A = this chain, B = another copy of it.
Amino acid sequence: MHDWAEFRHFRYLLAILEKQGFRAAAEELHTSQPNLSVQARRFQENASIKLFRKTRDGRIRATQTGEAFIQLAQSLLEMRHEVIDALIAIERGEISTIRLGSTPLVDGELFRSFCSMHRTILPMAAVRPTHGDRAQLVEEVLASQVDAAVVTLPLKDPRIHVEELRRDRLVVCLRKDHPLASKAALQPSDLQDNLAILYHPQRHPDAHHRLLELLAEAGVLVEAYSRASHPSEMQMLVREGYGFALVREGTPLDDALTTRPIAGVDWTVDTAVIYHRQWRPKTVPLLIRRFKKLQSTQSSEIFPRRQEAFLGGSIPVLDSLPNGPSKAPV
């Protein structure tokens, strides 16, 4: 059924619709305009559908069916690509299991989608995610006990390849009712006596030193501070009034807390994938490439960026209430 439709047709028509013209599409596809003309006609006749109309000025405008075609053809071609990639990887014996790690400082959501991304490439491969301290994870990457890890920078080790995934602004986390919360942005000097909560130095020494450097450059001297061994603890300490903390922008926050940018500086939290330079498992670069691609295409507004969903602290109860029993075991 529908065996007259080959991938070629989807490629061609997709290019025609996207480029809004046969000529431009032909150039992109490295073929001739008349070829597209006849192939496009054949496909549309076979399916008895019309994918585009011509405007007065000779351009191509997708019909409603054409708009749907763009979405569907993209999925179809993408799927072919994934299928073949998967088959090649399976052939190479890279199926067994892939071990991925992340540190507490990394956005859990990012790590989770990074892990699950592997399934879109290799549905049959098992993924084993692990969590651990930075130092420990680096050790395991070097020992090939994990294939790749998502960590925060900086990291300098000649044996390790670093591929940056995301860069988030570093903002101040403070109580909503703090006087300084009325300002739209804080000055570095505002931190001087208020910044009193840092991530535990031993958990990520490089980041700690770098942060102290940056603060010093901005004229902020941090003397005594509370140590948090987990990001959630930082929020708790801020809430309890022990001072400000620095968190990644966009972080879901406790009800009583808010964040403010720091004026005049450009401090960021950089999240990256690391893997062993030599013993790199071959799927990892592919995985990263695909992840970055999804990230860049997803941030365009097809799916609203999950943002504040949890920010309010309360769950949308009414519509996601408990569901009763239904069925049972395998």
B-binding residues in A (CB < 8 A) = 1-3, 5-8, 11, 47-50, 64-65, 67-69, 71-73, 75-76, 79-81, 83-84, 86-88, 90-91, 95, 104-109, 112-113, 115-117, 119-124, 127, 129, 152-154, 168, 170, 173, 198-199, 204, 206-207, 210-211, 213-214, 228, 230-232, 234-235, 245-248, 251-253, 265-271, 286, 289-290, 293-294, 296-300, 302-303, 310, 313, 315-330
Asked if A324 meets B228 with Cβ closer than 8 Å, knowing A87-B69, A293-B120, the reply is yes
Shortest C-beta distance, A49 to chain B (Å), equals 4
**Can you list 25 A-B contacts (CB < 8 A)?**
A3-B8, A47-B88, A49-B87, A68-B87, A69-B87, A75-B290, A108-B318, A108-B319, A109-B319, A113-B297, A116-B300, A129-B302, A129-B303, A152-B326, A198-B325, A204-B324, A214-B328, A214-B329, A228-B324, A246-B324, A252-B316, A266-B329, A267-B325, A267-B328, A268-B328
Identity of the chain B residue whose Cβ is nearest the Cβ of A105 in the assembled complex:
B323
Interface of A is mostly: mixed
Assess whether A316 is in contact with B109, with CB atoms less than 8 Å apart. Answer: yes
A330: shortest Cβ distance to chain B, in Å? 7
Q: Do A231 and B321 form a contact, CB below 8 Å, given A47-B88, A210-B327?
A: yes
B79 touches A207 (CB 8 A): no
Copies of this chain, tallied across the complex? 2
8 Å CB contact of A320 from B69, B109, B265, B313: B109
A14 to B317 Cα, complex, angstroms? 44
Bound form: Cα–Cα A112–B79 in Å = 26
| B-side contacts of A117, CB under 8 Å | 297
Q: Which of B3, B121, B206 contacts A68 (CB 8 A)?
A: B121
Pair A5/B7 contact, Cβ less than 8 Å:
yes
Known: A269-B327, A303-B115. A232 touches B321 (CB 8 A): yes
